[in-house]
Structures are given as C-alpha cells and as structure tokens.
Amino acid sequence: MVVEKDYFVLGKSLPRVDAHEKVTGKATYVDDMVMSNMLYGKILRSPHAHANIISIDTTEAKKLPGVKAVITGMDLPKKTYGTDPRFQDEYALCRDKVRYIGDDVAAVAAVDEEIAEAALKLIKVEYEVLEGLFDVYTTREPGKPEIHEGKANNVSSEIHLDAGDVEAAFAKAEHVREDTFRSQPTFHAPLEPHATIARWDENNKLTVWSNKQIPFYIRRLLSHTLELPETHVRVIKPYIGGGFGGKGEMFALDVCASYLSKMTGRPVKIVYTREESLVCTRRRHEMTITLKSAMKKDGTILGVKGEILSETGAYNGTGPLATFLATIFLNLPWKIPAVKVDSYLIYTNLLPSGPQRGHGVLQMRFAADCHLDLIAADLNIDPLEIRLKNAVHEGYRTVNNMNVKSCGIVECLEQAAEKINWKEKRGKMPPNHGIGISGMGYLSGCNLVPHTGAAALVHVHEDGGIKLLTGAAEIGQGSDTYLSQLVAEEMGVPIEDVSVISGDTSITPYDPGTFGSRVATMSGNAAKNAARNAIEQLLKVVAEEMEVDVEDLAARDRKIFVKGSPDKGMSLRKALKTYMYRDLPMPIVGSGFYQAPIQVPDWFKAENDPAATYSFGAQIAVVEVDPDTGKIALKEMVNAHDVGIMINPMAVEGQLQGSIHMGTGHALTEDVVIKDGLVMNANLLEYKIATPFEMPLVHGIAVESASDQTGPVGPHGAKECGEGTQVSTLPAIVNAVFDATGIMFKDLPITPEKVLRALKEKNKGGK
C-alpha cells in the first residue's frame, strides 16, 4: 500500500531554488573565480604507459621568469590515497613509476597559464620504459611485469559470492545457458572541466574551492596527503557544471594546487583542459561478465554462476566498490535461489576507472537482463512473463541477505507494458523494428563505510525565515531544492522561506556527499529530522500558550494551529515572538541525523544490504534498425520507476530523462578508443555523446511504493531516481535490437559498423 499523503509543499513541481542564477549566467563556477595575487598551475604528464622514473630535472623550469614554484612527487609527503584505506595506491605526483599515458609527474605555478605551460616543456624527465599491459587477459599472463608491486598477476582484489546450493540448482536444471558480455569504458564528459583553487594561509590553514561531489571526503584526503589536521582544511563547493560520479574523487590538481600555494604563499588555480578532464581523471569501468544460468522450462531461475573481470586501469580508485556492486546486484530484481560469482579487479596500464552513474550495477544488469532475454528465447517464453515470474517483492530476502523493504517492480513491469501496448506489439513489429524490456533494482542510500551517516541543521530566524545547513552537494541534480521542500513541509512554510547553505566543510554539518544515490534517503532524512527538531521547539511553547497538547498542533502556510481547526492558532511570526518573550534560548536551531539501521555489508563476500532501501524500475524500448546503414534509431522509451513517493514530480521527470539520455549514448555511440595506451578520441568532437536528436519519445511513469507495512525508509518513503534508470536503459535498448534483428549484441556500443557486420554474417548463415 502507498502511504496516505496530505502535503503542503511536497509532491509539487516547484522550480529549482538555484534556477535563476544558472539560467541568467550569474552562477559562479570555479573557473569564474579570480583572487588577488593568484597564480596558475599546470601539471606535467607521462608520455609513456608504463615506465620507471630515473630522474626529474626542474632546474630550467624554475629559472623561467614568472615561474614561482615547481614540485615533483619527492617534494610532497609520501602518502598514497584512494577511496578505501585498504586499497590506497595512488600518489598525487608519481615518485618512482608512471602507470598510464597522462599520469601526473610534476606541477608548476606561474603568474599566467602560458608561462606555466612553457615551464612544463623545460622539465627534463628520464624514463626507463617498461612493457605496457592493456587488457585484462594479457596483464594476468605469467611473467608479465607487476604494475603495482606485490600484486600477483596484476589482480588488485577479489570478491567471491557463494550463497545457496548452486551445484544442486544445476543438477536439477531443465535448461542451462551461458553467455559473455562486455560493457565498454565511457567518459563522464561533464560540460565543466575539473577545477580547483587552493589558498594556504599564514596560519597553516588550507581553503580549497573545488567542484567536488563529496566535500567532506576530499577534506579527509587532503588532510591525509598533506599531513594537516582536518580542522585546518576547508573545502568549499561552488556551483558544479555536471559530475555523474566523475567529480567524486580527489585528483592531482587538488593536492598540487594546495602544496604550490603553501610554497608560494599565494592562491593557486588549476583548471584541467578538456583532454585532461577526460583522460587524466576517471572513466567507467570496462567489465567482461560471464553468466551461466540453471532454469526450469517454465522460466523459473534456479541458480546462476558467474565471473566478472573488472578493469580498473592504473589505480584502484573506486574499483573495489564497483566490483562489489556489480557482484551483489546480480541478485536484484529477480529471485535467484543460489548464486556463485567470482569477481576480479585487474590493473592495466590504461587511464584509471572510477564511479559513473549506476556504478558497477549498470554493467551487471546489462549482462544479466540480456542473458535473461536469450533464455526466454530459448524457452519460447515472453520476456515480460519471465520477468514477472521471477520478480522479487516486498519482504523478500535474497540468498545473500539483501532485504527488500518496499518494492514496485511488478507494478513497474505491468504499467510499462500497458503503456506501450506490449501484448499487441511483441512479435508483431514491422520489419527491422523491435521492442525490448528490462528491469532493475538499485541502491537508495548507499550504506558503505566510512560514509554511513548524514547530519543537517535548521536555523529559524526571528522573522520566520528558515536556513538549512547541509553538507549534501548540489551538482545539478536538484538536491538543494529537494531538501528545501522537505524542510518547508516540516516547518509549514512555502519553499521560498527556506534558504540553503550546502557543501562547505567549515560551516555545514557532516554529510556523505553526492554518490551512491544517498542524498534522497540519508541527507533527506537528516534534513527532515532537523526541521522536525526545530518546529517541535516552537510547538511546545505554542501548546503551553494555547493550553493544548503538542500532538494536537500542526504547522502549515506560515501558521501553527490546532489540527482540524485552522482558526485556532497563531502565525509563525507570532509564535516566534512568544518564544522570544519567554527569554528562551535563541536562536532556534534544530539538528538532525540519519544512519541506516542495518549491518554494513561484507565487500569480499558480497552479502548483506549495501543500501538503506532499494528502488526498482522497468523500461521498454522501441527501435528501428536500418539494414542498409546499420544505424539504430531509438524511437520510443517507456520508463516506469519505483520512486517511493515523488517529492518534486518535475525534478523526477528530469532525472529519468537524463538517465535515459546517458544510457542511450552508452548503448549506441559512446566508447573510449585506446591504442597502445593512448586515448584516440579525447575530445567532444570524436567522443560520440548522444545528442538531443537521439532522444526518443519518453513516457515516464512514477510508481509510488512507500509501504505502510514496513514503514518508509527514505523521508516520507522517497527513494532515488537519478541513477537506477540508466541501469535499465542499456538492456532495454539491446534487447529491442535483438528483437529487431535476431542478433544479441554482447559487446557495447552497438555501432552501425557492428550491426552491418553482424547482419552480413547472419545472412551468410553464421551465428
């Protein structure tokens, strides 16, 4: 059942609170900022994929007029960094070895960018070139050099999921099928490149302005790598021009700008070029996934065996997390009674991989849902019916102990099918047209250390204005608006009465940051709890003044009144004056915190809940394949997403369409082309992002599944809607192409060249 709603602010399509600044060009991004006496930094990069550093001579660079400082890895504290202390393997500047083309070697600060660029050319580096290893198979061959010392066969980490009796499942299987799929690396390609300004002052305190999705995480890493107390590091997040996960980690520019500022006593700005922003940060993990399923003839899944080869590139980054999520999310949204998966994170001499929208889950669900369509074809079962038969439900516990608290997967499948007229179209499409379906389960409120809790503060001003202080990072997804609506609802005021300060580690309380679809659940609950704490302080005084119980009062439309009797009450301003005249402690500040009451999962066994709750969804794609050109046109997409409840319907629609756009590019056009370690398309001309012309007609369906049986997990039952949709976009498109051509494309993207080759082979009688 859906929770009953009688909301004042929630559920309304309100414009974003930062919309005016953005559309008028008044929003200030990092590269817009200019500080007095500021210097400009540049980074020297490796031309080799794999080499020992013999020597670095910076003498001539330091002599160049206008150059104020030059640093190498030997100047910085000898500190590696990374997402998890167990997997830290990266220096801000390489000390003894480079591991990919573009690796960070030295940094310069000068009075302008041109002089800084000229100084880089004067730095002399002597290398001993080593063999480059560029794929997950070659790198593991016996006798190959170790990219990181002590990592045998260049395997960084392993995950082994073994739950249920897999051998028994295969022993009683009536049908067995095995397939291998490859999801290619893709760039985040945000419009705004990575940028940082650092100012190290005379009190040994560091302030950093950087376009980061996770300010508190960056503060911790800067404290670690620069050997500063965290209280001496302040990270401020200005406006961000897109992130998609690619601005979640710390990079060389953050450390180098900071240390160069320390050396010079002046602010230092480093802004990556478009090429650097693509090649020298992160890309999505390439994964090769093999799945073997044991089935009953009626389409019931009995068990699955699998192997994941995840290519992390030169450094771990978030590779262990991506591999963990790919492994554990084999288990949603379809019931699998027994599962055994062996997953390997593998180093190569390619640019590092990192988090991108749908981190790790996207690759697995592409493989698993396309594999399921092939099984349905084998068994002559409708792809919709095989999904309905195996769909999880509220209260379901997976074999590896993931607990489904609320679930709208069946409703998503049924409503999407009804909207597209699945039964009328499936098997009856015109020639070269196809229809494909997919489903997904995704985490809502990532529950992984060290970021398992979020805090917020709500300050009530004397005139009734409300200020929310949150560490959640607004990166374009609308979190400032979403959190403002939650606070406004609790305080009983319109959203324009709420102002937000977000993403400043010295002002705002701790927050995990924007990744893992955490803001909706974790930051949202923290903000809601803070607002509730604040209004309760007022309600207590009003209740005493009116001689009623606190439980009998409500706040709405800038009033506090007796429930059911709006005329019996007072305005919010009068309530505040009443509070003040009693000489009670001022100002009124409400504090809120949220931490999911669940066990943190075991990464290496891929068991227990990786999230506070889960969103679910289904997509149906309609495509047309041109047999003469191989071009695929995505004509129509139905997207049904289990959002719990909608806080802001317009924002939900925008997030769902944005995910479909990114997923379309991943499925059909985008690919990081690499030759001998060198990226060949590191620009937005040759890297084929899907344009608005590739967007199909989209039918969005919001399925509200906030359950009153288990109680809502997110605020009022809200779940994520910004990442999960992209997870199901890929297999829906690929399955539609399968329906149109009879060919399952297992290696993405599905380019016209691949289509023409496959059609030619099929026409020859090939498989």
pLDDT in tens, 96-138: 999 999 999 999 999 999 999 999 999 999 999 999 999 999 9
The Cα 260–Cα 172 span in angstroms is 65
Exposure string over 438-474, b if 16+ CB within 10 A, otherwise e: bbbbbbbbbbbeebbbbbbbbbbeeebebbbbbbbbb
The Cα 116–Cα 103 span in angstroms is 18
The confidence score (pLDDT) of residue 3 equals 41
Going by pLDDT thresholds of 50, 70 and 90, the confidence category of residue 450 is low
Chosen domain end from 595, 625, 655: 595
Section 258-267 average pLDDT? 98
User: Does residue 684 carry a pLDDT above 50?
Assistant: yes
Structure token digits, residue 216 = 């508190």
Is residue 113 packed enough to be buried (19+ CB in 10 Å), middle (13-18) or exposed (0-12)?
Answer: middle
DSSP 19-72: HHHHHTT-PPPGGG---TT-EEEEEEE-SSSSEEEEEEE-HHHHHSTTEEEEEE
DSSP 383-429: HHHHHHHHB--TT-B-TT--B-SS--HHHHHHHHHHHHTHHHHTT-P
The confidence score (pLDDT) of residue 597 equals 87
Please indicate, yes or no, whether residues 262 and 117 belong to a single structural domain of this protein: yes
The Cα 406–Cα 348 span in angstroms is 40
> Which uninterrupted H or E stretch holds 442?
strand 433-446
The gap from C-alpha 480 to its chain's centroid, in whole angstroms, comes to 17
Please indicate, yes or no, whether residues 712 and 694 belong to a single structural domain of this protein: yes
Q: Which residues contact 582 (CB under 8 A, 6 or more apart)?
A: 541
Strand locations in 186-329 (E): 195-200, 206-210, 233-236, 268-271, 286-295, 301-313
Chosen domain end from 595, 614, 642: 595
Task: Examine residue 205 and state whether it is found in any structural domain, yes or no.
Answer: yes
The Cα 444–Cα 644 span in angstroms is 10
Going by pLDDT thresholds of 50, 70 and 90, the confidence category of residue 83 is confident
Query: Mind listing the pLDDT tens digit for each residue in 539-589?
Result: 999 999 999 999 999 999 999 999 999 999 999 999 999 999 998 888 999
Please indicate, yes or no, whether residues 231 and 302 belong to a single structural domain of this protein: no
* Geometric angle at alpha carbon 652, from 487 and 439, rounded to 5°: 130
The confidence score (pLDDT) of residue 705 equals 84
Going by pLDDT thresholds of 50, 70 and 90, the confidence category of residue 448 is confident
Query: Mind listing the pLDDT tens digit for each residue in 626-656?
Result: 999 999 999 999 999 999 999 999 999 999 9
Over 550-606, what HEC string results?
A: HHHEEEECCEEEECCEEEEEEEHHHHHHHHHHCCCCCCEEEEEEEECCCCCCECCCC
Whether the Cβ atoms of residue 81 and residue 224 lie closer than 8 Å to each other? yes
Task: Examine residue 72 and state whether it is found in any structural domain, yes or no.
Answer: yes
Whether the Cβ atoms of residue 297 and residue 174 lie closer than 8 Å to each other? yes
Task: Examine residue 150 and state whether it is found in any structural domain, yes or no.
Answer: no
Task: Examine residue 10 and state whether it is found in any structural domain, yes or no.
Answer: no
Please indicate, yes or no, whether residues 589 and 620 belong to a single structural domain of this protein: no
Is residue 176 packed enough to be buried (19+ CB in 10 Å), middle (13-18) or exposed (0-12)?
Answer: middle
**Torsional class of 517: left (φ above 0), alpha (ψ -120 to 50), beta (otherwise):** left
Section 471-496 average pLDDT? 96
The Cα 731–Cα 387 span in angstroms is 13
Please indicate, yes or no, whether residues 626 and 541 belong to a single structural domain of this protein: no
- Residue 64: give its domain's CATH number: 3.90.1170.50
The confidence score (pLDDT) of residue 11 equals 94
Closest to 737 measured CA to CA, from 334, 333, 370: 370
Side-by-side strand order, sheet with 175-183: 155-163, 339-347, 301-313, 286-295, 175-183
Structure token digits, residue 114 = 């041109």
Please indicate, yes or no, whether residues 654 and 727 belong to a single structural domain of this protein: yes
| Phi and psi angles of residue 224, each rounded to the nearest 5 degrees, phi first | -70, -50
Please indicate, yes or no, whether residues 404 and 463 belong to a single structural domain of this protein: no
The confidence score (pLDDT) of residue 585 equals 87
Going by pLDDT thresholds of 50, 70 and 90, the confidence category of residue 710 is low
Task: Examine residue 320 and state whether it is found in any structural domain, yes or no.
Answer: yes
Q: What total of structural domains would you count in the chain?
A: 3
Please indicate, yes or no, whether residues 649 and 620 belong to a single structural domain of this protein: yes
User: Does residue 666 carry a pLDDT above 70?
Assistant: yes
Side-by-side strand order, sheet with 51-57: 97-98, 51-57, 124-129
DSSP bridge partners of 675 = 678
> Which uninterrupted H or E stretch holds 733?
helix 724-741
Structure token digits, residue 158 = 């392993």
Query: Mind listing the pLDDT tens digit for each residue in 350-397?
Result: 999 999 999 999 999 999 999 999 999 999 999 999 999 999 999 999
Please indicate, yes or no, whether residues 569 and 609 belong to a single structural domain of this protein: no
What is the three-class DSSP state of 641? Answer: strand
Q: How many CB atoms lie within 10 A of CB 668?
A: 25
Over 310-328, what HEC string results?
A: EEEECCCCCHHHHHHHHHH
Structure token digits, residue 362 = 């996207």
The confidence score (pLDDT) of residue 709 equals 53
Amino acid present at 119: A
How do beta strands 155-163 and 433-446 pair? unpaired
Q: What is the distance between the terminal CA atoms of the chain, rounded to a whole angstrom?
A: 47
User: Does residue 2 carry a pLDDT above 50?
Assistant: no
Please indicate, yes or no, whether residues 457 and 444 belong to a single structural domain of this protein: no
Task: Examine residue 515 and state whether it is found in any structural domain, yes or no.
Answer: yes
Query: Mind listing the pLDDT tens digit for each residue in 175-213?
Result: 999 999 999 999 999 999 999 999 999 999 999 999 999
Task: Examine residue 184 and state whether it is found in any structural domain, yes or no.
Answer: no
Task: Examine residue 182 and state whether it is found in any structural domain, yes or no.
Answer: no
Chosen domain end from 256, 279, 302: 279
Side-by-side strand order, sheet with 588-595: 498-502, 466-470, 453-460, 588-595
- Residue 578: give its domain's CATH number: 3.30.365.10
User: Does residue 4 carry a pLDDT above 60?
Assistant: no
Please indicate, yes or no, whether residues 519 and 619 belong to a single structural domain of this protein: no
Please indicate, yes or no, whether residues 422 and 479 belong to a single structural domain of this protein: no
The confidence score (pLDDT) of residue 85 equals 87
Query: What DSSP state is assigned to residue 184?
Result: P
* Domain range for 73: 33-130+191-242+247-279
The confidence score (pLDDT) of residue 599 equals 85
Section 50-69 average pLDDT? 98
Q: Which residues contact 600 (CB under 8 A, 6 or more apart)?
A: 447, 448, 449, 452, 608
pTM above 0.95, yes or no: yes
Mean pLDDT of the chain: 95
Closest to 187 measured CA to CA, from 318, 252, 282, 287: 282
Q: What is the maximal distance between C-alpha atoms in the chain?
A: 89
Whether the Cβ atoms of residue 170 and residue 294 lie closer than 8 Å to each other? yes
